[in-house]
């Protein structure tokens, strides 16, 4: 079930300040929910296709961004140095043609997600535009108990 | 770090060629009184101390379309006979180490053709020619470049993919191609040495329940026609277990190579293994990673294929890696070798390895 950005406010409890990080995608992405294990496979570049003809494009915030810190700590469990080396090695092993694309702001992330079929980005859950959808992780949205990215 | 498409354009560009590289500069000093027979040049076991320019490696990647990609790797290696002979030998050898064109049907099946590092061994396909990528200065001797124990290169076709398999994340490679050439340390780049194709099956799992763990094994089969020796059937079985986190990092591999004369006769089994462990220290900015490796190769005298090419020894390596920059590292090592057929020896080694 697709969840648009405007629905997120109702999913969060009133008055809650959230630093949760949301995974956003175009509404036409044929995936609405990922298990955490599956999300990790996508982020590690082990899963590179959503469907046979729709390739995954990863957009990751530049170093220093809170969203990047959350992704590195929670999903990759890597330091900056380990993350760099991981992707250099991944490409060198011919397992991927490129590392995740770096974006420098949430606005840039959401603009590129809207333009690139198959792209996903990690943005502040409070800054998701209405025209993008938020992917659930293990059936949970940002702000719900058990949501892992914060 | 590798990135896609330079300027902030949404549309991917094809083809998009990116070139990156690796290099290293080494120093070695041992108590060897003569060259260490059957060890390869990149193990740095010379009988006089000095600096050595390591391999300069260029890596070329180009996405030709959303589903077709090209990977290439070329190296430049200093020659010890540079300037000698008529005409004078050049200073460096150029090698095409890998040349791969791949079509991705989906995540479960990708088909490629070209020259590979034979996927029957973890180290061979994890680190390739990138010294900066690996923790230690040199590779385990069983997979050393120029060595003969494992066929380092493979020319042919490879089917590969990853299947979720209930959270096991089962990866596989199935290949067929030219096996070893008449020089058994090299692949059949200019054609197969006989009418028998080599084939291989490699599988490994990356289970969800143990993020960082890799367990795998492989089988390889070839018929050899080595220069000056009787033809032989070759079977290689190998297994590996890897914990790829840095606190600790553990890599362990074992391989058995069987040779049997093609016209019948006893089978000779040669075996090799290593265990390497490292730990990223939490102090000093997490820049230091000490490591230790124990390795062994045993070639029985009955293995007429390997006996003049592969050393029998046990080696102990201890060292430390210092990442003084994001893309460059300094490594220091001490090694001791016990040899079956020659005196033991020791050595100290250093390396600056980098990527660009």
Indicate whether B142 belongs to any domain: yes
> CB neighbours (10 Å) of residue B7?
5
For residue A17, the distance in angstroms to the closest alpha carbon of chain B comes to: 31
A23: helix, strand or coil? strand
B130 touching chain A per CB within 8 A: yes
Please check whether residue A102 touches B, CB under 8 A: yes
Q: Is residue A30 less than 8 Å (CB to CB) from chain B?
A: no
pLDDT surpassing 80 at residue A1: no
B57 touches chain A (CB under 8 A): no
Nearest to B3 among A52, A92, A98 (CB): A98
Confirm or reject contact between A101 and chain B (CB < 8 A): yes
CB atoms within 10 A of CB B330: 16
pLDDT of A121: 96
Residues ≥6 apart with Cβ < 8 Å to B229: B304, B305
**A130 Cβ contact list (under 8 Å, min separation 6):** A4, A5, A6
Helix (H, G, I), strand (E, B) or coil at A93: coil
Instruction: Please give the Cα distance from B27 to B25 (Å, whole number).
Output: 7
In a 13 Å sphere around the CA of A72, the CA atoms on its Cβ side amount to 20
Q: What is the CATH number of the domain that holds B338?
A: 2.40.160.10
CB–CB of A47 and B208 under 8 A? no
- Say if the Cβ atoms of A101 and B167 lie within 8 Å: no
Does residue A91 belong to the interface with chain B, where contact is any CB pair within 8 Å?
yes
Distance CA B169, CA A133 (A): 28
Top pLDDT among B204 and A19 is at: B204
Please name the residues between 286 and 325 in chain B that touch chain A, using a CB distance below 8 Å: 286, 323
Contact A37 B208 (CB under 8 A): yes
- Please give the pLDDT value at position B9: 57
Q: What is the nearest CA distance from A88 to chain B, expressed in angstroms?
A: 6
pLDDT, one tens digit per residue, over A73-101 is 999 999 999 999 999 999 999 999 999 99
Q: Hey, are the CB atoms on B4 and A98 less than 8 Å from each other?
A: yes
Residue B133 lies in a domain: yes
* Within-domain flag for B337: yes
Count of domains observed in chain B: 1
Of A46, A88, A101, which has the smallest distance from its Cβ to B162's Cβ?
Answer: A46
Task: Check residue A138 and give its pLDDT.
Answer: 97
The answer, for B33 touching chain A at a CB cutoff of 8 Å, is no
Instruction: Tell if the CB–CB gap between B1 and A108 is shorter than 8 Å.
Output: no
Q: How far is A150 from chain B (nearest CA, A)?
A: 20
- Asked if B18 and A98 come within 8 Å (Cβ–Cβ), the reply is yes
Measured CA to CA, the distance from residue B202 to residue B253 in angstroms comes to: 14
Measured at the alpha carbon of residue A22, what is the angle toward residues A28 and A1, in degrees to the nearest 5? 40
Print the domain residue range for B155.
117-355
Q: Chains A and B: how many Cβ contacts under 8 Å?
A: 87
CA proximity to B309, closest of B32, B39, B35: B39
> Which residues 6+ apart lie within 8 Å of A90 measured at CB?
A44, A45, A96, A99
| Contact residues for B11 (Cβ-Cβ < 8 A; gap 6+) | A115
Which residues lie across from B19 on neighbouring strands?
B60
Q: Of all helices (H) and strands (E), which one includes residue A67?
A: helix A66-70
Residues 6+ apart with CB under 8 A from B295: B140, B141, B142, B272, B273, B274, B275, B314, B315, B317
pTM of the model: 0.91
The pLDDT of residue B339 is 94
Does a structural domain hold residue B78? no
From the options 3.40.190.10, 3.30.1490.20, 1.20.1280.50, 3.30.390.30, give the CATH code of A19-137. 3.40.190.10
pLDDT of residue B166: 94
Per-residue pLDDT at B1: 52
**Residue B100, domain member (yes or no):** no
3-class DSSP state of A3:
coil
Nearest to B107 among A48, A101, A116 (CB): A48
Inspect the interface and report whether the beta carbons of B211 and A77 lie closer than 8 Å.
yes
The answer to the question of residue B348 being in a domain is yes
Q: How far apart are CA B91 and CA B103, in angstroms?
A: 37
Q: What is the pLDDT of residue B147?
A: 84
Does the ipTM surpass 0.85?
yes
Tens digit of pLDDT at every position of chain B (356 positions): 544 444 445 677 889 899 999 999 999 999 998 888 888 777 888 888 999 999 999 999 999 999 999 999 999 999 888 899 999 999 999 999 999 999 999 999 999 999 999 999 899 899 988 899 999 999 999 998 888 999 988 899 999 999 999 999 999 999 999 999 988 888 888 888 888 899 999 999 999 999 999 999 999 999 999 999 999 999 999 999 999 999 999 999 999 999 999 999 999 999 999 999 999 999 999 999 999 999 999 999 999 999 989 999 999 999 999 999 999 999 999 999 999 989 999 999 999 999 99
Q: Does A52 touch chain B (CB under 8 A)?
A: yes
* Other CB atoms within 10 A of residue A84 CB: 18
B36 touches B80 (CB < 8 A): no
B125, A93: Cβ pair inside 8 Å? yes
B106 closest CB neighbour out of A41, A52, A98: A52
A53 shares contact with chain B (CB less than 8 Å): yes
């Amino acid at each position: 079930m697709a969840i648009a950005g405007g629905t997120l406010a109702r999913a969060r409890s009133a008055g809650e300040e959230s630093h949760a990080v949301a995974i956003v995608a175009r509404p036409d992405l044929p995936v609405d929910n990922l298990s955490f294990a599956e999300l990790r496979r996508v982020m590690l570049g082990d899963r590179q296709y959503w469907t046979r003809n729709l390739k995954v494009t990863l957009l990751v915030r530049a170093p220093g961004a809170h969203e990047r810190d959350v992704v590195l700590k929670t999903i990759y469990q890597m330091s900056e140095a380990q993350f760099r080396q991981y992707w250099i090695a991944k490409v060198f092993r011919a397992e991927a043609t490129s590392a995740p694309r770096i974006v420098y702001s949430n606005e840039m992330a959401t603009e590129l997600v809207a333009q690139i079929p198959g792209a996903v980005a990690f943005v502040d859950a409070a800054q998701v535009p209405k025209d993008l959808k938020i992917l659930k992780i293990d059936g949970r949205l940002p702000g719900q108990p058990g949501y892992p990215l914060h | 770090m590798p990135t896609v498409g330079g300027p902030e354009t949404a549309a991917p560009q094809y083809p998009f060629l990116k070139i990156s590289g690796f290099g290293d500069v080494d120093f070695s000093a041992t108590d060897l009184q003569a060259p260490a027979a059957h060890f390869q040049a990149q193990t740095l076991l010379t009988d006089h101390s000095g600096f050595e320019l390591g391999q300069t490696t260029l890596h070329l990647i180009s996405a030709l379309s959303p589903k077709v990609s090209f990977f290439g790797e070329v190296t430049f290696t200093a020659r010890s006979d540079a300037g000698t002979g008529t005409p004078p030998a050049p200073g460096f050898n150029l090698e095409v180490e890998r040349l791969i064109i791949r079509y991705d049907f989906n995540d479960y099946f990708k088909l490629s053709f070209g020259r590979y590092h034979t996927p029957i061994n973890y180290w061979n396909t994890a680190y390739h020619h990138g010294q900066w990528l690996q923790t230690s200065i040199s590779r385990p001797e069983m997979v050393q470049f120029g060595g003969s124990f494992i066929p380092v290169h493979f020319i042919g076709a490879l089917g590969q993919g990853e299947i979720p398999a209930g959270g096991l994340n089962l990866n596989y490679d199935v290949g067929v191609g030219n096996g070893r050439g008449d020089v058994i340390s090299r692949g059949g780049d200019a054609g197969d040495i006989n009418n028998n194709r080599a084939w291989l099956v490699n599988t490994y799992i990356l289970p969800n329940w143990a993020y960082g763990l890799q367990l795998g094994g492989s089988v390889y089969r070839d018929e050899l026609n080595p220069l000056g020796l009787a033809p032989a059937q070759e079977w290689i079985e190998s297994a590996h277990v890897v914990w790829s986190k840095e606190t600790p990092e553990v890599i362990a591999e074992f391989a058995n190579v069987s040779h049997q004369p093609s016209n019948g006769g006893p089978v000779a089994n040669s075996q090799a293994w290593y265990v390497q462990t490292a730990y990223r220290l939490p102090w000093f900015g997490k820049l230091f990673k000490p490591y230790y490796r124990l390795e062994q190769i045993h070639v029985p005298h009955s293995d007429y294929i390997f006996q003049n090419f592969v050393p029998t020894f046990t080696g102990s390596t201890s060292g430390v890696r210092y990442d003084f920059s994001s893309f460059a590292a300094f490594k220091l090592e001490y090694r001791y070798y016990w040899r079956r057929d020659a005196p033991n020896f020791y050595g100290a080694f250093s390396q600056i390895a980098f990527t660009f």
